[in-house]
A and B are shown apart, each in its own frame.
Chain A
Amino acid sequence: MHNFDFVKPSSIADAVKALSGDGAQALSGGQTLTPTLKQRLAQPSVLVSLTGIAEMKGVCMGADGLSIGAATPHAVVAREAAKDYPGLAALAGGIGDPAVRNRGTIGGSLANNDPAACYPAGVLGSGATIVTNKRKIAADDYFQGMFTTALDEGEIITGVTFPVPQKAAYVKFNQPASRFALTGVFVAKFAGGVRVAVTGASNNGVFRWTEAEAALSANFAAAAVEGLTVSPEDMIGDLHGTPEYRAHLVKVLTKRAVAAAH
């Protein structure tokens, strides 16, 4: 690993200031960034840890829905969101392994936008709002392709607000070595319709399967997507699965998620 200065501000204002310098990089748990630094795939001159900022931590239910501080670890979301949004809590409780869940954070996961990460599916599938130090960004505008987001340079995610659906579930097909989703599907049923978000499958990162949304909005049953097909075009192909295999998984996992939704 190349060396860098390490700072750990205790307020959002100090973090923004620290990130405005040349070569500064945010660290929010570091379960992806630390291995990346070890491989010398990133060379920041200053690493700014965001996990010491009290105002960016915690889970609370409000008028707009369930708000989660960006520096809240997965294990805390799994525990504290279980009553208000069990589908999301279960997603958080299935990320990585217990030690990873004690360090990795929702903000870190969303800022990185790994194409096989779980949280992007939960956030896009819920139609959540990403709150930064500057603005609020709708999930539909936030995810812009593999490892690409609407965040500006130096902009920090401070929290995420989730409207709570009537029913939801996330089902992923694990890549057993990395425990990332080979493909994962989040289904959320709201009074106004159903949202279906797919991670791990597309070369463009997380996406909404709009045909399934229309079918499930008319009839929220696994059989409703039976007649639909998913194109393997633009799906990820690697040694773990072909594009056709992932396209197949999208439909299978959507049906399982509908059956599991509660």
Chain B
Amino acid sequence: MTTVTMTVNGKTVTGEVEGRTLLSGFLREGLGLTGTHIGCDTSQCGACVVHVDGKAVKSCTMFALDAAGATVKTIEGMANADGSLSVIQQSFQDHHGLQCGFCTPGMVMSSAALLAENPKPTEAEVRHYLEGNICRCTGYHNIVKAVLAASGQDVPAVAAE
């Protein structure tokens, strides 16, 4: 076992991990942050997306030791300081951007990364950016609406593709 230290949601954390311990496993089992979901474990579905040094990554496809010293943000770190939902989270609720909710942590983290890079994306840009996040409930329309609304843009009738 090796000791790993990183900053997670603003706090310095330290834990014992194996070489093979994935970042997703360290967050969930080491730190109890089970908001990061493991859907496929093959880097296809995006339910495990977190931010590492500000960049969206699939935490099931990064080793915990590769994140040593990094700044990590998970879905548990997304709410406002007073505990109210962040703009993106609130927008997912307002626009019914989830049904079962399993993909939602990854969707929110990817959406936050998109809006940090591109504050006013088009509908096509939102759909393209969320290619690596799979949802089997919503058909994506309400997720796309939620992201567009969170960017402060009018939400058009999102066309079915």
Partner of B63 from the list A47, A75, A102, A178 (CB cut-off 8 Å) is A47
List the B residue with the shortest CB-CB distance to A4: B19
Q: A34-B62, A99-B49 are in contact. Are A75 and B55 (CB under 8 A)?
A: yes
Q: Which of B42, B43, B114 has the most CB of A within 10 A?
A: B43
Q: A31-B61, A35-B42 are in contact. Are A99 and B19 (CB under 8 A)?
A: no
Is A127 interfacial (CB 8 A cutoff)? no
Is A51 interfacial (CB 8 A cutoff)? yes
Is B155 interfacial (CB 8 A cutoff)? no
Question: Number of residues in B with C-beta < 8 Å to the partner?
Answer: 29
Please determine whether A99 and B63 come into contact, CB atoms closer than 8 angstroms.
Answer: no
Instruction: Tell me how far the C-beta of B121 lies from the nearest C-beta in chain A, rounded to whole angstroms.
Output: 12
Partner of B110 from the list A47, A96, A99, A179 (CB cut-off 8 Å) is A99
Q: A5 CA to B114 CA in the complex, in Å?
A: 35
Instruction: Tell me how far the C-beta of A6 lies from the nearest C-beta in chain B, rounded to whole angstroms.
Output: 4
Is A61 interfacial (CB 8 A cutoff)? no
Interface residue tally on A, bucketed by range: 20 to 34
List the A residue with the shortest CB-CB distance to B46: A99
List the B residue with the shortest CB-CB distance to A51: B66
Q: A4-B19, A47-B19, A100-B43 are in contact. Are A30 and B62 (CB under 8 A)?
A: yes
Is A2 interfacial (CB 8 A cutoff)? yes
Is B16 interfacial (CB 8 A cutoff)? no
Instruction: Tell me how far the C-beta of A42 lies from the nearest C-beta in chain B, rounded to whole angstroms.
Output: 12
Per-residue 0/1 for A51-67: is the Cβ within 8 Å of any B Cβ (1 yes, 0 no)? 10000000000000000
9 contacting pairs across A/B (C-beta < 8 A): A8-B68, A27-B63, A30-B62, A34-B62, A49-B65, A96-B132, A97-B132, A98-B113, A178-B44
Identify 18 new A-B residue pairs, CB closer than 8 A, beyond the known A27-B63, A102-B52: A4-B20, A6-B66, A27-B66, A30-B62, A30-B63, A34-B43, A34-B62, A75-B55, A98-B110, A98-B129, A98-B132, A99-B58, A99-B110, A100-B43, A100-B132, A102-B55, A103-B62, A177-B44
Q: B residues bordering A, Cβ < 8 Å?
A: 2, 18-20, 22, 41-44, 46, 49, 52, 55-58, 61-63, 65-66, 68, 110, 113-114, 129, 131-133
